[in-house]
Chains A and B, each alone.
Chain A
Amino acid sequence: AQSVAQPEDQVNVAEGNPLTVKCTYSVSGNPYLFWYVQYPNRGLQFLLKYITGDNLVKGSYGFEAEFNKSQTSFHLKKPSALVSDSALYFCAVRDNYDYKLSFGAGTTVTVRA
């Protein structure tokens, strides 16, 4: 079985400061890892993914994520947060054998001006 944990329900940062949203995962075999963002009453938007290769993955809107196999983590980062980054962020995982993505519970990010 595969699962994802997002240990923080909420993250608050000031605009211009670095932003980190944490994610840990559990899968059998090699993980396929994803980050999504959701604005109120909207669908989820794909930000980035890790499949293989470089542990640092760059995605949309200046976000990046670092894959750490030994810690089974895939934290989302942004060097300088914007007020417009305030949203709900989801981490997701699947393994080699499954069509399904398992999502974390989500982390609400609030960036204050």
Chain B
Amino acid sequence: SQTIHQWPATLVQPVGSPLSLECTVEGTSNPNLYWYRQAAGRGLQLLFYSVGIGQISSEVPQNLSASRPQDRQFILSSKKLLLSDSGFYLCAWRISGNTGELFFGEGSRLTVL
């Protein structure tokens, strides 16, 4: 069966420091991968999605970037964090070509101080 892992689960970082959140999927190949941010425990904002290695689409201009160095690995990064980057970051995947439901990781809570 397929599983998705995100780490770290919790992160507290100072303003101006770098960020790296990692997501990996097991048990499938060539998944579509997504990064969402959830602010204040409410709605989800799509940040990036990827349909293949090295293929990244950005949904909103911001301080963050994403990379997909391997088929089942998706990384969210920042060179210099802002206070506004605080939030709950969720990685998700779906089978390429299927009917569209996403499967989510357990999330990474980032607090920028």
**A residues neighboring B (CB under 8 Å):** 32, 34, 36, 40-46, 49, 51, 88, 90, 94, 99-106
Cα-based distance from A104 to B103 in the complex (angstroms):
17
Chain B residues with CB below 8 A from A88, complex form? 41-42
Cα-based distance from A51 to B6 in the complex (angstroms):
29
Chain A residues with CB below 8 A from B43, complex form? 103-106
Contact A51–B99 (Cβ < 8 Å): yes
Contact A49–B99 (Cβ < 8 Å): yes
Contact B100–A43 (Cβ < 8 Å): no
Does B104 make an interface contact (CB < 8 A)?
yes
Cα-based distance from A41 to B99 in the complex (angstroms):
27
Find B105's partner among A43, A99, A101 (CB 8 Å cutoff). Answer: A43
Contact A32–B41 (Cβ < 8 Å): no
Bitwise interface map of B from 32 to 62 toward A, beta carbon under 8 Å scored 1, else 0: 1010000001111010010100000001000
Whole-angstrom distance between the Cβ of B18 and the nearest chain A Cβ: 24
Dominant secondary structure at the B interface:
strand
Whole-angstrom distance between the Cβ of A28 and the nearest chain B Cβ: 15
Bitwise interface map of B from 66 to 104 toward A, beta carbon under 8 Å scored 1, else 0: 000000000000000000000010101000000111111
Contact A46–B101 (Cβ < 8 Å): yes
Contact A43–B107 (Cβ < 8 Å): yes
Cα-based distance from A106 to B102 in the complex (angstroms):
16
Given contacts A42-B106, A99-B49, A99-B51, contact A32 B100 (CB under 8 A): yes
Whole-angstrom distance between the Cβ of B9 and the nearest chain A Cβ: 9
Contact B42–A106 (Cβ < 8 Å): yes
Name 25 interchain pairs, CB-CB below 8 A, sorted by A.
Answer: A34-B100, A34-B101, A34-B102, A36-B104, A40-B41, A42-B107, A43-B104, A43-B105, A43-B106, A43-B107, A44-B90, A44-B104, A46-B101, A49-B99, A49-B100, A51-B99, A88-B41, A99-B32, A100-B46, A100-B49, A100-B59, A101-B100, A103-B43, A103-B44, A106-B42
Cα-based distance from A88 to B43 in the complex (angstroms):
10
